[in-house]
A = this chain, B = another copy of it.
């Protein structure tokens, strides 16, 4: 059916370009906030949390597991090391963190799409990590084909600034090799910036080598932003730290991110969770600066609540929002870029639950001052599923964040307009309206704004059905961005060589 439709349209380049003409395939600039942050916690609460985090680091400590080199670095820096436990004298972590930049540029293959991460900016990247995908046909294990489809959809999403990383796990490719295919998809199917592999230090090294070829030598530039999860509570495992070491040494950015379901991996209170988040991030960021002072790094917080009845993580909840606001304040006080938020939801379907939970999270993240939002679209079922329909639904909503962040501009001509229209008139034809109506109001490219009768005649479709149609429309119009054939050849050669060298393995 879809195949027929494609044939009927002719399928040639001209037809595709015509089709694309009705779609928006430009990429918006990153969000630069002209609005204040929402400061949920007062000074007293913030300094209490900071004081408690120092106590955690000094008295309880953090574990650097199976990593003697890290322990040596810590000892040298003045920490007290006992077995694998590292205790940091008060103030040490904060002092070490001071060399991390407050903002940095991640370059993209298309220079116009390079992003500045930090300050008043917000950079949006898609969902990361799900082993399953869902489309109108249901839920199934993700494949490399699905991965490529998501990268294409991301490329065509105006409000997405970043192509992300593991948009889904390509489970049909050996774990030992799939990072190479993922890098190739991001490098060739889009010209937006992307992420490297963290599942093994050697895969991080492959990512750096790959980026070096893609960019014709990195020359100290940051070309990869990489997700380094902390094994909360207070544990830094050798795999993730090994990846961090590779990236920090190469001047690539790491998101140092506690991964916390509150009540399970952190205290059951919001304030308690913030204490642990801060302690963990401070230790991780400090370690990155021990490895290489000045390495770009992001204060991460992936934190949500738990349903104490079922034990399931819950998303879009008020506690998750409070943590997102509070962690943003703590990150700003450290002068670090902040990663949090996303299209989080627990729902199994891209339905109303999914949308409530996602909107709760997206709105909070914008006002919380997030600088890098991973998972900004496509997340479903607690992160187990990357959903094609929800990807375009969420990506559309991200447009609203752009407009909201622009703030309110005083309008000197408003009195002329009100004078022109006067009591009882209407503004549709006013000169003030005519001069502004095109850009005055944000407009969804997905939702149905038609009259009820038209909508009913057209089948009475719900958002999910509209999204399904939009996925097909975008993919039919997709064209890869142009690439220098010599670069492509070099990337192909690198991947082929590494695939030869590496064993097939599912770990």
Contact = CB atoms under 8 A, between A and B. Distances in A.
Contacts of A407: 40, 322
Contacts of A381: 452
A69 interface: no
B441 A307 contact: yes
A43 to B, nearest CB: 12
A384 B318 contact: no
Interface stretch (A18-26, A178-186, A457-465, A483-491): A457-465
B39 A462 contact: no
A158 B61 CA distance: 44
Nearest to A319: B441
Interface string A45-71: 100110010011001111100000000
A287 to B, nearest CB: 14
A451 interface: yes
Nearest to A406: B318
A318 B442 CA distance: 7
B427 A263 contact: yes
Interface stretch (A95-103, A330-338, A354-362, A469-477): A354-362
A118 interface: no
A366 to B, nearest CB: 10
A74 to B, nearest CB: 14
B314 A437 contact: no
Contacts of A351: 351-352, 355, 462-464
Contacts of A205: none
Contact of A349 (B272, B424, B462): B462
A350 interface: yes
A397 interface: yes
A347 B423 contact: no
A266 B427 contact: yes
Given A271-B409, A351-B351, A308 B359 contact: no
Contact of A233 (B49, B322, B364, B424): B424
Interface in A340-354: 346-354
A314 to B, nearest CB: 7
Given A393-B352, A423-B234, A417 B272 contact: yes
A233 B420 CA distance: 12
A494 interface: no
A441 B410 contact: no
Given A36-B40, A307-B441, A318 B404 contact: yes
A139 B367 CA distance: 37
B263 A433 contact: yes
B441 A263 contact: yes
Nearest to A48: B410
A423 B319 CA distance: 23
Contact of A437 (B266, B268, B270, B419): B268
Q: How many identical chains are in the complex?
A: 2
Nearest to A390: B352
Contacts of A467: 352
Interface in A373-409: 381, 384, 390, 393, 397, 400-401, 403-404, 407-409
A397 to B, nearest CB: 6
A231 interface: yes
Given A275-B414, A367-B367, A268 B440 contact: yes
B364 A312 contact: no
A14 interface: no
A107 interface: no
Contacts of A364: 363
Interface in A295-311: 305-311
Nearest to A260: B427
A233 B267 contact: no
Contacts of A426: 233, 264-265
A305 B441 contact: yes
Interface in A233-263: 233-235, 262-263
Given A353-B355, A404-B322, A348 B452 contact: yes
Interface string A120-158: 000000000000000000010000000000000000000
Instruction: Pick the most buried of A139, A400, A456: most chain B CB atoms within 10 A of its CB.
Output: A400
B233 A441 contact: no
Contact of A355 (B55, B62, B352, B410): B352
Nearest to A419: B60
Given A52-B415, A319-B403, A353-B448, 12 more contacts: A59-B419, A264-B428, A265-B427, A267-B427, A305-B442, A312-B449, A317-B403, A322-B407, A348-B455, A349-B463, A351-B355, A352-B463
16 contacts: A231-B424, A234-B424, A264-B427, A267-B411, A268-B436, A268-B440, A269-B432, A271-B409, A274-B408, A305-B442, A311-B428, A322-B408, A348-B456, A348-B460, A349-B463, A352-B352
